[in-house]
Structures are given as structure tokens and as C-alpha cells.
């Protein structure tokens, strides 16, 4: 199972010799989402990157609270993106431009663990545990049973890289 998980992002890293940018969040490759983190409703997130070098994306989140559309612009490598709300019509006008550069995932916030969530990618067998920006604590004990390794410094595990080389789940 670990080989499948690692292979899911490996294709995104192929041919990229430049070192990855520092990430404002820490990412950990895991084999599954711990049962305690499965409580509550996940948030569905679709995000697509616009063509060009601006590192700009648009997306939509869907949850029990409804839909929210957004635009994210990363001002530079390793710096957090500035996220702005979009109107639905603006999103619908820009979304076709992201064809071939998209991700789709479910996000689950870990109850009682401030600053931690899991991203389960829907187009590949990949689950990442994410410590949000500013959370420098070591991987907590509750993560250890499913932890493979930290992948924060590996470009292939960044959403933008995953979006550029999508993989499909096998049936």
C-alpha cells in the first residue's frame, strides 16, 4: 500500500530537478485517515491552476454550510497564497481555463487537534496529513500508526504539482 501511495505523487516529481519551494504548511504521507478523524462532515474542494507563471488558482469548496468560490494567488515560492472570495459567475468564467491542471479532494479537520487536517485526493490513492502554517509541533502520537513519512520538502506532493500531472484511481 505504501508503494501505491508513493507512486501516486512520484509521477508529479518526474523531470523536475529544481529544489522544491519551502511550504508554509507541513505535509505527511499517510496510509489512511485515523477513525477518530472521520467524525464530522468533510469539506469537498476542487481547485484548478490558471495558465501562466503567476501561480494563480480558482476553486470551490462545498460543505454543509454551502458553496464558496475563491481565487488564490501565491506571491512567491514558499509564501502562502492570498485567498480572495469570488462570485459564482467569475468562478464559472475562469474554471474552463484550468482544464488539465486540477485537483479534487476531501478535507477533514481533526477534532481536538488544532491546526491539523487530512486531505484525501479523489483522483489518486493519496492521503496527506497537513499541519497548517505556523504549526511546528512534531508529528503527534495519534498520527504514528498511519504515518509513512514527512513529504513537506518534496515538490511532487504540492497541490500545484499534483494538479499538473493527474493520476487516476484504478478500479
Report the C-alpha dihedral over residues 148, 150, 156, 162, rounded to 10 degrees: 80
Mean pLDDT (whole number) for 141-147? 92
User: How does the average pLDDT of the chain come out, rounded?
Assistant: 83
Q: What residues have CB less than 8 Å from 84, skipping those under 6 apart?
A: 70, 71, 72, 73
Among the listed residues 46, 52, 61, the one whose alpha carbon sits nearest the alpha carbon of residue 102 = 46
pLDDT for 157 equals: 94
Distance CA 167, CA 50 (A): 19
Q: Given CA atoms 91, 94, 96, 102 in this order, what sign does their dihedral have?
A: negative
Local confidence band at 4 (pLDDT 50, 70, 90 cut-offs): very low
pTM: 0.80
- Tell me the percentage of the chain whose pLDDT exceeds 70: 80
Mean pLDDT (whole number) for 2-21? 45
Beta-carbon-side half-sphere exposure of residue 85 (alpha carbons within 13 Å): 4
3-class SS string, 59-74: EEEEECCEEEEEEEEC
pLDDT for 48 equals: 96
Distance CA 26, CA 22 (A): 9
Local confidence band at 57 (pLDDT 50, 70, 90 cut-offs): very high
Lowest mean pLDDT among 8-12, 29-33, 116-120: 8-12
148-170, pLDDT tens digit by residue? Answer: 999 999 989 999 999 987 565 54
* Euclidean distance between the first and the last CA atom of the chain, given in angstroms as a whole number: 15
pLDDT for 15 equals: 40
Amino acid at each position: 500500500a505504501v508503494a501505491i501511495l508513493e507512486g501516486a505523487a512520484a509521477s508529479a516529481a518526474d523531470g523536475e530537478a529544481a529544489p522544491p519551494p519551502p511550504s508554509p504548511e507541513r505535509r505527511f504521507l499517510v496510509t489512511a485517515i485515523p477513525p477518530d478523524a472521520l467524525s464530522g462532515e468533510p469539506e469537498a474542494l476542487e481547485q484548478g491552476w490558471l495558465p501562466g507563471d503567476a501561480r494563480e488558482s480558482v476553486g470551490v469548496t462545498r460543505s454543509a454550510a454551502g458553496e464558496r468560490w475563491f481565487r488564490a494567488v501565491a506571491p512567491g515560492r514558499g509564501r502562502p497564497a492570498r485567498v480572495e472570495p469570488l462570485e459564482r459567475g467569475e468562478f464559472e468564467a475562469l474554471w474552463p481555463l484550468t482544464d488539465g491542471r486540477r485537483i479534487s479532494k476531501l478535507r477533514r479537520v481533526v477534532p481536538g487537534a488544532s491546526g491539523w487536517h487530512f486531505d484525501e485526493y479523489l483522483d489518486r490513492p493519496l492521503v496527506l496529513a497537513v499541519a497548517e502554517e505556523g504549526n511546528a509541533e512534531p508529528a503527534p502520537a495519534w498520527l504514528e500508526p498511519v504515518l509513512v513519512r514527512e513529504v513537506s520538502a518534496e515538490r511532487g506532493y504540492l497541490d500545484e504539482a499534483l494538479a499538473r500531472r493527474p493520476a487516476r484511481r484504478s478500479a
